């Protein structure tokens, strides 16, 4: 059976309530267009403004607005919902009584949360590669490690839409992560992002298409796309890419939803005719 995939593009700001309302509209649009899986962009709930720790939530804690929003929207629309990234102040796989449960240094993790159509949490991936670079734009210096703690676990999970591999933004420049997801059986890989306008124009499309081609997966890439204040501009161009590297749907800038159909038969046929998994020689 085919399944429609959707990438929701946003221009988030510092107001969480306003961002969640905007995300809800895009999720509803994607569901109305028949999507079975919806991806939100990186930092969809808050971008710029206060330090991320002020928005930090503990995984599964009652009264967590971002997590409750994601669970509720997935259940309301009956979709697999991948919540871009949410700022979580607790580490995965631990309970409140465990040592190391909370991140104690004031940072959070950029956590991509996957909810099933019943609103249950299926998986959590914490962004592994942090964007500590210099870019020739108005902001110039990006230092994610000041606000975020890096994750370390590669995550692949079965969903109603297919076997899903998780990644985030700067991860896109590290093909070894995507090869790990391929070997774990990923059929779809999600890439929530907030690529800068400068790096996005230069590298966004070619990196997405390369990761899709190399690993014979559908890539769903949901980006921030617009101006977020005097110093921050993101590239946008959310897209869905086939295992053959074809761009099936793409946006420009501004809010919107890109929707395209995933065909499991085409995926299997691509892998059968060119059995890359059988030809790997280097680890």
3-state secondary structure 161-226: CEEEEECCHHHHHCHHHHHHHHHCCCCEEEEEECCEHHHHHHHHHHHHHHHHHHHCCEEEEEEECC
Task: Spell out a b/e string for 13-22, using b for 16 or more CB atoms within 10 Å of the CB, else e.
Answer: beebeebbeb
In this prediction, residue 51 has a pLDDT band, given cuts at 50, 70 and 90, of confident
The CATH topology of domain 3-272 is Nitrilase/N-carbamoyl-D-aminoacid amidohydrolase (3.60.110)
Whole-angstrom distance, CA of residue 1 vs CA of residue 144 = 40
Q: Of the residues 42, 57, 149, 187, which is catalytic?
A: 42
Token digits for 226? 């617009």
Average pLDDT along the chain: 96
Q: Of the residues 57, 127, 217, 233, which is catalytic?
A: 127
Tell me what the mean pLDDT of segment 220-235 comes to: 95
In this prediction, residue 197 has a pLDDT band, given cuts at 50, 70 and 90, of very high
Q: Of the residues 3, 4, 57, 169, which is catalytic?
A: 169
Q: Please tell me the number of Cα atoms within 13 Å of 94 on its side-chain side.
A: 14
Q: How do residues 5-27 score in pLDDT, each as one tens digit?
A: 999 999 999 999 999 999 999 99
End-to-end Cα spacing for the chain:
33
Looking only at the bridges linking them, the beta strands covering 109-115 and 121-126 are antiparallel
Q: How do residues 87-116 score in pLDDT, each as one tens digit?
A: 999 999 888 888 899 999 999 999 999 999
Tell me what the mean pLDDT of segment 103-130 comes to: 97
Q: Residue with structure tokens 């990234």?
A: 85
Catalytic residue list contains 169: yes
Catalytic residue list contains 253: no
Look at 49-53, 63-67, 130-134, 177-181 and tell me which has the smallest mean pLDDT.
Answer: 49-53
Helix (H) or strand (E) holding 37: strand 35-39
Give strand pairing partners of 87: 110
Instruction: Work out the percent of the chain whose per-residue pLDDT is above 70.
Output: 100
pTM for the full predicted model: 0.97
pLDDT at 48 exceeding the cut of 80: no
pLDDT, position 233 = 96
pLDDT, position 96 = 84
Whole-angstrom distance, CA of residue 210 vs CA of residue 247 = 12
pLDDT, position 188 = 98
pLDDT, position 99 = 86
pLDDT, position 245 = 98
Catalytic residue list contains 48: no
């Amino acid at each position: 059976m085919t399944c429609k995939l959707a990438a929701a593009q946003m221009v988030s700001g510092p107001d969480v309530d306003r961002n969640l309302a905007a995300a809800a509209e895009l999720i509803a649009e994607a569901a109305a267009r028949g999507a079975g899986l919806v991806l939100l962009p990186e930092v969809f709930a808050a971008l710029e403004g206060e330090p991320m720790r002020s928005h930090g939530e503990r995984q599964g804690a009652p009264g967590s607005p971002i997590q409750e929003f994601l669970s509720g929207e997935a259940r309301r629309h009956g979709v697999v919902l991948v919540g871009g990234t949410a700022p979580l102040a607790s580490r995965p796989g631990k309970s409140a009584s465990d040592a190391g449960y909370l991140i104690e240094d004031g940072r959070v993790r950029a956590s991509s949360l996957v909810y099933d159509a019943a609103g249950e949490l299926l998986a959590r991936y914490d962004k592994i590669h942090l964007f500590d670079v210099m870019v020739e734009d108005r902001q110039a210096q990006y230092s994610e490690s000041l606000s975020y703690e890096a994750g370390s676990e590669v995550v692949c999970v079965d969903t109603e839409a297919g076997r899903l591999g998780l990644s985030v933004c700067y991860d896109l420049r590290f093909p070894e992560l995507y090869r790990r997801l391929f070997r774990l059986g990923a059929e779809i890989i999600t890439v929530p992002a907030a690529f800068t306008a400068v790096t996005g124009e230069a590298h966004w499309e070619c990196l997405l298409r390369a990761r899709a081609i190399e690993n014979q997966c559908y890539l769903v890439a949901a980006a921030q796309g617009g101006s977020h204040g005097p110093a921050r501009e993101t590239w946008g161009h959310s897209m869905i890419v086939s295992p053959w590297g074809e761009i099936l749907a793409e946006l420009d800038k501004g809010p919107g939803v890109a929707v395209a159909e995933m065909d499991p038969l085409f995926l299997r046929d691509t892998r059968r005719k060119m059995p890359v998994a059988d030809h790997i020689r280097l680890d």
